[in-house]
A and B are shown apart, each in its own frame.
Chain A
Amino acid sequence: MRDPGSFDAFYNGSVRRLIGQLHAMTGSRTEAEDCVQEAYARAWQRWDKVSGYGDPEAWVRTVAYRVSISTWRKAASMRAAHRRHGAPDESAGLSPDYVAIITALRQVSQSQRQAIVLYHLVGLSVDEIAKETGAAAGTVKARLSRGRQALAPLLDEGEVRV
């Protein structure tokens, strides 16, 4: 039996945080909001199971990320959004430091970007990232290392060190 109260509490307590995290992964506010809300709808669809998971937030984050990399969905929603609103100003209201980081992140590979965001923003360990992404721990370490190397010249302030 799905409990609306527990879902609402979970949603209200985590949706903004996940939108922030997805924004760092996708670089688009519209896409982040769209994908996160789609993921929550899927979570409610099977809330009797998802609510029993140890970390439902990780489930929603993973689904939202996978939704975000669906090419067909991206193309369709991009067309719809452009028709409704024109090209959005994604950087309005954000600090220049953060805009610079997001711009740099968009220039590294998607898997590296995901690993970097999960490590530096979400605060997961390498093992936790491996579990969430389904990659081996060594692969996660390599993605973090190569991602940092790729980011360093883009941020123009030298190395990103651990």
Chain B
Amino acid sequence: MRSEEFGDRLYRGAAEVAAQAAPAAASTIRRRGDRRRHRAMLASGLLAFTIGAGSGGFAYASFTKADGGPAPAGGISSSSATSSAAGPASGGQPSIVGVTTAGVIGVLNPVTGVAMPLTGTQDAVGDEISVSPDGSTVYFAVRNGCADDIESVPLRGGTPRFVTTGVLPAISPDGGELAFVREQVGGGASPVSFACPGASTGTGTGTGAATGAGTGVSVVVRDLVTGAEKTYPAPPGQGALISAVSHLSWSPDGSTLLVSSGPVQDNEGWELNRLNVATATYYMPDNAQMKTVRDVPAATAQSPGSYFEEGVYLPDGDLFVDRTCCAGVPAKTVSSLLQEVSASGVVLRQVAVGYPDRLHSSLDAIPGWLLYLSGTDLFVAADGQPPKSFAVGYIAAAWVP
């Protein structure tokens, strides 16, 4: 095909797409931009308030809480509290860190559910936030220009520090390593390079050459002392396609990552995969050859078409999962169940019935406590007890150990 002919066909096809497109009205786009701008100004104001009002640069800028109901993350009051963010718990409930729908990192008071902004960050993205096992440092992802960076900040407040380029940070049980997901742009061993105006100048190095040509997704484990990185491919998808990764969770002994992935191309391919980080081996529920050693659950054992959309390790090695139904085309999600299951998928306890339209469950578990999102509502559950709605307006949350 000659160049002119190729260009002509491409041009005519793109014109067909353009003609059939139904973009929103300009006023709608402006309102969307105004909301982003408002959030940015709001976060800047919160940062100024925090710096100005706090003794030692740290104080509550309270998010209002409805009487008797969960604390919303959106509204801000001018009142301030004096207790520590990670202060005395209610009935032993630990503190929680969360990312609000406005992209603000907050620490939720365990008694009131009121959130205190931890940084001036306004573009935090989901859907994972992680706290070091000693409870001192919070790791989170932010959109920086056109890239996604992982940053850390002391739980007691301070200036966020760039850690690396990537998303979905998950700190290891010993606090020495950080697992995350990094997208690789372009082919070969080229490092990530973002040319977007105003983007981060993060190095993007260390992506390795694991994924070959084209954009790829890698699971990376970074030594937080030396900065050395081990790069693993994303879980294999269907055919030549690579699964998206939506959540990472370390096993209690730090030997394994539970990688939640899917979908691939259509509403299929959701699964939990176990990645042995020492041997770089994936164990997948549909790999018959690995059946005897896979120890990875498949939700289809419960009900045909069901899948585990997301899972995290419980402190005893069992799993806390979000079981959804049903995979396939056309997509028709009819149920979402929060469950504790064994490593092989046997249901141990049904924790709750979730909303089927939520985007991300943001599961987390520490000894005696579970939390999850249903929609943007944050629920917590004490050991074996029914969950209670604790706060609203979040896209990610995690316990402070």
Contact = CB atoms under 8 A, between A and B. Distances in A.
B13 A93 contact: no
A74 to B, nearest CB: 6
Interface in A85-127: 85-87, 93-95, 97-99, 101-102, 108-112, 117, 120-121
Nearest to B40: A45
22 contacts: A4-B30, A8-B26, A8-B27, A24-B10, A29-B20, A47-B33, A62-B146, A72-B168, A72-B181, A72-B244, A83-B267, A83-B357, A87-B267, A93-B16, A95-B13, A99-B13, A101-B6, A102-B13, A120-B3, A120-B7, A121-B11, A155-B6
A95 B12 CA distance: 9
Interface residues of A, number: 75
Interface in B180-206: 181, 183, 185-187, 193-197, 199
Interface string B347-376: 000000000110110000000000000000
Nearest to A162: B3
Q: Which of B3, B13, B34, B146 has the most CB atoms of chain A within a 10 A radius of its CB?
A: B13
Contact of B186 (A16, A17, A109): A109
B17 A19 contact: yes
A115 to B, nearest CB: 10
B309 to A, nearest CB: 8
Contacts of B266: 82, 87
B93 interface: no
Given A101-B10, A120-B10, A134-B193, A82 B185 contact: no
B227 to A, nearest CB: 22
Interface in B221-243: none
Nearest to A40: B29
A160 B1 contact: yes
Given A11-B26, A72-B127, 18 more contacts: A8-B30, A19-B21, A20-B17, A32-B17, A33-B21, A62-B146, A66-B196, A67-B146, A75-B245, A83-B333, A95-B16, A98-B10, A110-B186, A111-B186, A120-B7, A121-B14, A133-B195, A155-B1
Main secondary structure of the interface of A (DSSP, over half): helix
A32 B332 CA distance: 24
Interface in A6-21: 7-8, 11-12, 15-17, 19-21
B214 interface: yes
A75 B26 contact: no
A21 B127 contact: no
A83 B331 contact: yes
B195 A135 contact: yes
A76 B360 contact: yes
A70 B184 CA distance: 10
A98 B16 contact: yes
